[in-house]
Amino acid sequence: MTLRPFMHLAVLALPFALAACGDDMRMPWDKPEPVVEAPAEPAPPHIPEPTGDSPTRQPLEIGGPSAKVATAEARSLAVTDLVAGGEGWAASVSGNTARFQPEGAAARAVEVRRIPWSGGVEYIGTLGGQPFVLRIKGADCGKQKLTAMVRTGGQTYNGCASPAAPAAAASAS
């Protein structure tokens, strides 16, 4: 019976003994709250400053290996010279010169650059200090094989187009 008071004393002293052992030997009610670390946010991607130039004048460059891929639309790729028109306008392209005539105005010549793209071909230049774009797509337009859209002077004209002469490579086949 002399052990019983000693056991009470040992049970009472046990928490103090365990507390002295360190953080891993704490009582369940005495443990600190777990610290949850916020997930690290990924760094924003580096986007170069815009050059202020149109992608038709200065292509956008992306680093890394590249491979040439045919992206031009086949129906309009072979067209180098064409005639186009719609309600209230007419246009033609021969080489690097486009002629555009809105209804009731004289025809004006525009020096253009030919730019093939995945949807067709664009002829881009400047008319009266304003951008001039003649876009040709390989889609049926009534009896003609191509659709045309002219955008100049803040106006857009829609219509149809047809080739005036096939490209030299296409006629040589």
Other beta carbons within 10 Å of 33:
5
Beta bridge partners of 160: 85, 147
Report pLDDT digits (tens) over 127-169.
989 999 999 888 888 888 889 999 998 899 999 998 885 544 4
Tens of pLDDT, residues 69-128: 656 666 677 777 899 999 999 999 998 999 999 999 999 999 999 988 777 889 999 998
What is the bridge-based pairing of β-strands 155-166 and 108-117? Answer: unpaired
pLDDT, tens digit (0-9, with 9 covering 90-100), for 12-60: 776 666 666 555 666 667 777 777 777 777 777 776 666 555 555 555 5
SS3 assignment for the chain? CCHHHHHHHHHHHHHHHHHHCCHHHCCHHHCCCCCCCCCCCCCCCCCCCCCCCCCCCCCCCCCCCCCCCCCCCHHHHCEEEEEEEECCEEEEEECCEEEEEECCCCCEEEEEEEEEECCEEEEEEEECCEEEEEEEECCCECCECEEEEEEECCEEEEEEEEEEEECHHHHHC
Domain ranges of the chain: 1-33, 74-165
